[in-house]
Structure 1
Amino acid sequence: MFKIWLATVIVITGILAIGFNSYRIMELNAAKAFNDQQLFLVREAARSIRAYIGNIESTLRFSVDIIGYNSQDDMLAEKVLSSVFFNTTGQILYLFIADPQGTILYQYPHGSSLSVQEFNLHSLLKPAPNFPGWVVSRIVNIGSPAQSLFSFIIAVPIESKKGSPVRWLCCVPDFNRMKQQFIYPVRSGKTGYAWMVDDRGVLIAHPNKNLEGKEAIAASKSGVPEFSSVSLEDIVRHKMMQGKDGTGEYISGWHAGEKGLTKKLIAYTPINLGPLVWSIGVSTPYHEILEQMADSTRRLVLFLGCFIGTIIIGSVWLLWQEKKNQQVNQHLQWSQEVFNGITDGISIVDQHYRVLMVNDAVCRWQNKPLKFFLGRPCHDVFLERGELCLGCPAKETFATGQPAFRERVSITLGGKKYYFHLYTFPLKDEAGKTVRVVEYVKDVTSERILQSEIIQNERLAIIGKMSAQVAHEIRNPLSALTLNIDLLEDEIKGYAGIDTAEAQELVHTIKHELKGLHNVLDDYLQFTRLPKIRLAQGNINVTLEEILAFMEEEFRVHNIVVKKSFDPEVPPINIDYDQLRRAFINLIRNAVEAMPEGGSLDIATRINGNWVEITFMDSGEGISEQNLEQIFTPFFSTKVGGTGLGLSITKHIISEHGGEISCESRRHEGTRFIVRLPLHEH
């Protein structure tokens, strides 16, 4: 759930970042396009001003040509000045002819109140050697103290026949008219305006006439004196005053008569007048561009809002789905826990009898990981068969679509035989066809063993009583018979001079058979009177060493090779030395008797969990599977003359120690008995 919210926040943040970036790109593109339009406006204004001044300069040159041919005709000069003044239709405020020292020789109109002394004519009319044929003065205030009037002088030389200027035809253009015609009408946006500076950075044209004659940088601070616009200063000093063309933006201290910091867009272009440079700029508040973008911005915000809303709705839906999936997963987990918590084995197979799933009980029985079963045929992984089992209940369930049952199925796992009841149940698709089968295996081994033990105990009780009674009834006559045979043997030995060899042989045979009967009788009596175990600390390895030393001659006679592998880490445990010795001797003698032609006997000890494990492995012929189930049953024996009580007594002794005994055997490979005794008393 946290991941979904985190992903949602990341996506929304990314969208907002993209939206903001898109807005910034739109804003920058709009500002650039707007500035390009402003640049076009100022270029047109500059072109018009250059044309305006060029027309005045052409008129002056034409007049100079007339005056130059008649340089001494004063009346002609007066007429030319008057004609130029009236023909320029108000473009010129004042005309005059001056000598190189700046002395005015002729003027028109006569008696003009304009003062041209501010222009420093003496310096102006001595241009550099490479001047372009006309000169333009800086703009100065030639008005009265009560009313400012800014203008400039255009001067064209009247040359002598030798080519040197002897007089100058000068005019003072109507700069206010020029501003009214070419500067003030330029508008950009709602409140944008044009203004002009000279090459000193002085404002020579501005909608706020109070600022004219002031430096542009100082004028920008008039609204907020403590404010300094680095960007405007850079534009004015390093671009406009240098005669460069371009666009930019800056922050001003006022706009349209209102004080306050205002971000503006600016476009500027130069007017080159010989060595002098004027520069026209047009400025527009940045927010007016944003106002023009309002519709686009609203559409962008609406789109982003809808998109983000969709994402949030999707996230809520995903959270709902996630919660639902968590509930489903929780139920699946519970089902899986129940599935694995069942102590009986459960497996699911498909129509090809491949295992799709097993629970933990099956893995424990087989001592294999889950992946060992998946995808393999059930008859292969469970019974190591290459084909279906006879009477397979899963096959029946696939065929009938009904549950099936098989009783007392037996398999051997890890050398131990298990008994199961096998149930199969169908899993059907929507069409009612059986596509999977559940195999439910109930382990009834313990029940089978318990039932067998109950029956065996009942049999043992009956056999014990019968054995005691039979042994009692037989012992007395057998003892009398043995005594009389001994007497008879002594009697036969007393016959001197008579050949009694045959009689003595018969007596020896009878005594041997009587001894065998006594041994059988002793086994029966021992079985009926098994002593109670008395436990004490003892070392299994030492016990086995003593037994092997005791039976060393027997091993030599029967050509048996004994191999020992005793774990020195096996600690002392609680045992009944005599009874355990008897049990071990029984197991070893059985192994010796299983190898009449000789062989090997491997005896090993080790610690296995909470048990001390002792194994006896012979290389004899082995025990058939049919007989293997009955070897611990009293009176069952495959040996000629055997009583069938040895392994029963051995099992009883091991059980009284709280231990276990099991047997593994394969025909022609040998037999292994495994005895497990507890490390600690239970």
Structure 2
Amino acid sequence: MLQVSFSMYLPSKKITFGIAIFTVTLLLAGLILGAYSLKYIKEIVSDQFNQQQLGLAEHAARQIESQFRLITQELTILNQSPSVQYLERVSWANRIKITFNMIRDAGILEIGRVDEKGEKIYKVNNRDEVQVIPVQYASINPFSWAINPENKGNILLTKILPEKNPSQKHLLMLVMPTYLDSVDDAHPMANHRFAGYIYLLVDTEYFVARAVKDIRSGKTGYAWVIDNESNFLFHPVSEFIGQNAFEVREKRGGGKIVSFDKINQIQKEKMLQGARGTSWYVSGWHRGVSGNIKKLIAYAPIQLKLPTQSLNWAIAVVAPVTEVDEVIHNPFLWQFIMQGIIILAIIFGGLAILSLEWQYTRTLEEEIRNKTADLSQSEKRYKELVESAEDLIYSLDREGRFLSLNYYGAAFLYGKGEPPELEGAVAQSPQLSGPKAFLGQKIFKAFGISEDFNP
């Protein structure tokens, strides 16, 4: 009985271990959710980072487009000057220098005027050198384009690629037909006759670099620009400039296991089609570091529009994903460290509690066993004392039935009248042997007294 009463207050080992496992499971679930949360936050931060890159790309694209409009406007204004139209000996060079000074920072290398026969060029270069030189090739393109009356008022865009040395500058030429439409004191009457054309040479690398060279996305990100034929107009790796982007990547890869399919797809299907957006790709290098480097990319179109012609370039701002990882790595690292410390503290604390509980249970069980043994010994001594007594010793319930009876009492009752009839289920034997024969029997019957007896 003592053991049962103690065990009622002891928690089940299964319940204890169940609670411990449930707690650890919750903590591990918290770690897993934390990992998924980190992944989700990285996606959000990456998207925000890419949106910032897209803002940089679009801003640079608008700068380049605005710069191009300024060049075309200044060329148009210069072409309307009487000094340039009539090639006035005293003033034509000074008038060109005025325009040159206004747009020199846009990468202008030369502004010139070809006469109506295509035999002489009157030009000023970016060193303010004035030259008049005879030519034989001016009668070909673009002279043949300029002499066509249908092209009056229009501007022709044409590329001039290096013929021998690929390291030479890649130039863009803007050509506009010149007609004698203006008047001044020396020419009071305009005859509107074709007088040749005016042209302007632009260093495309310098023209683009002015807007993109200082772009920094994160710590190491940068921008690059391609033209409508996938040639690099600007890239931090100088040997890329002027090269085809698809080809130079494969060449620079040098057979390494790096797939350029993703960036080639973005360039071909998005950038060259005038789309804007964000994505990612894998590169084989980044600022001197080689390997499979995942980069975030934002791209925007650069549209150099003219009434009859336009060029569709594209700018990309890229940065490795490590730029994003660095932003969120340290906070989440400390978070996971703290979670790990808490989990270990709970686990070791739980183990310590379980160990203490186990020790307490063992001690309590040992104490119960000792108490039970003492009680059994006491009960045994009590029975021996009662059974050996030469007195009638018994106990009754409320209805007068024998609960216990010693051997002396049983022997005494055997001498009274007839053998007793068993009434209680407590009797252990069907034969009348010892005190058990009287257990459950009413005392009145055992002594042969009527229950109505009232002394």
- State the AA in 1 paired with 2:227: D
Give the CA deviation at 1:456: 5.2
2:291 matched residue in structure 1: 260
Alignment size in residue pairs: 381
1:92 matched residue in structure 2: 108
Give the CA deviation at 1:255: 1.5
2:258–2:282 contact (8 Å) kept in structure 1: no
State the SS of the aligned residue for 2:168. coil
Give the 5 Å matches for 1:78-227. Answer: 79=93, 81=96, 84-85=99-100, 88-89=103-104, 91-97=107-113, 106-109=121-124, 110=131, 121=142, 133-137=154-158, 141-142=161-162, 144-145=164-165, 147-158=167-178, 168-221=197-250, 222-223=252-253, 225=255, 226-227=257-258
Cα deviation, 1:437-466, whole Å, max 9, x if unaligned, reads xxxxxxx14x3xx54552355568xxxxxx
Identity between Structure 1 and Structure 2 (%) = 21
Cα deviation, 1:103-152, whole Å, max 9, x if unaligned, reads 686452447899999x964898799x999954434x55336426321121
| Gap change, CA 1:261 and 1:456, over 3 Å in 2 | closer
In structure 1, distance between residues paired with 2:152 and 2:369: 103
Give the CA deviation at 1:339: 12
**Where does structure 1 lack aligned partners over 5 or more consecutive residues?**
345-406, 421-443, 461-526, 528-586, 588-609, 612-624, 639-665, 668-682
1:28 matched residue in structure 2: 43
In structure 1, distance between residues paired with 2:368 and 2:151: 100
Give the CA deviation at 1:271: 1.3
Cα deviation, 1:449-499, whole Å, max 9, x if unaligned, reads x54552355568xxxxxxxxxxxxxxxxxxxxxxxxxxxxxxxxxxxxxxx
Give the CA deviation at 1:85: 4.0
| Gap change, CA 1:171 and 1:296, over 3 Å in 2 | same
Give the CA deviation at 1:252: 0.3
Counterpart pick for 1:19 among 7, 17, 34: 34
In structure 2, distance between residues paired with 1:115 and 1:312: 91
In structure 2, distance between residues paired with 1:37 and 1:21: 24
The TM-score normalised by the length of structure 2 is 0.65
| Gap change, CA 1:177 and 1:25, over 3 Å in 2 | same
- Tell me if 1:300 matches 2:335: yes
Give the 5 Å matches for 1:38-117. Answer: 38-66=53-81, 73-75=86-88, 79=93, 81=96, 84-85=99-100, 88-89=103-104, 91-97=107-113, 106-109=121-124, 110=131
In structure 1, distance between residues paired with 2:319 and 2:26: 37
State the SS of the aligned residue for 1:21. helix
In structure 2, distance between residues paired with 1:256 and 1:456: 115
2:389 matched residue in structure 1: none
State the SS of the aligned residue for 1:147. coil
- State the AA in 1 paired with 2:412: I
- State the AA in 1 paired with 2:237: N
**Where does structure 2 lack aligned partners over 5 or more consecutive residues?**
1-15, 125-130, 182-190, 380-392, 422-428, 431-441
- State the AA in 1 paired with 2:35: F
State the SS of the aligned residue for 1:93. strand
1:410 matched residue in structure 2: 396
State the SS of the aligned residue for 1:199. coil
Counterpart pick for 2:274 among 243, 266, 271: 243
The TM-score normalised by the length of structure 1 is 0.46
| Gap change, CA 1:626 and 1:5, over 3 Å in 2 | closer
Give the CA deviation at 1:293: 4.0
Give the 5 Å matches for 1:569-588. Answer: none
State the SS of the aligned residue for 1:187. coil
Give the CA deviation at 1:60: 0.6
State the SS of the aligned residue for 1:154. strand
Larger radius of gyration: 1
Give the CA deviation at 1:62: 0.6
Give the CA deviation at 1:61: 1.2
- Tell me if 1:320 matches 2:340: no
| Gap change, CA 1:304 and 1:140, over 3 Å in 2 | farther
In structure 2, distance between residues paired with 1:115 and 1:308: 86
Aligned Cα root-mean-square deviation (Å): 5.0
Cα deviation, 1:639-680, whole Å, max 9, x if unaligned, reads xxxxxxxxxxxxxxxxxxxxxxxxxxx99xxxxxxxxxxxxx
- State the AA in 2 paired with 1:42: A
- Tell me if 1:455 matches 2:438: no
In structure 1, distance between residues paired with 2:359 and 2:336: 34
State the SS of the aligned residue for 1:241. helix
Give the CA deviation at 1:50: 1.8
Work out which structure has the larger RCO, using CA pairs closer than 8 Å and 6 or more positions apart in sequence: 2
In structure 2, distance between residues paired with 1:64 and 1:239: 37
In structure 2, distance between residues paired with 1:145 and 1:249: 35
- State the AA in 1 paired with 2:269: H
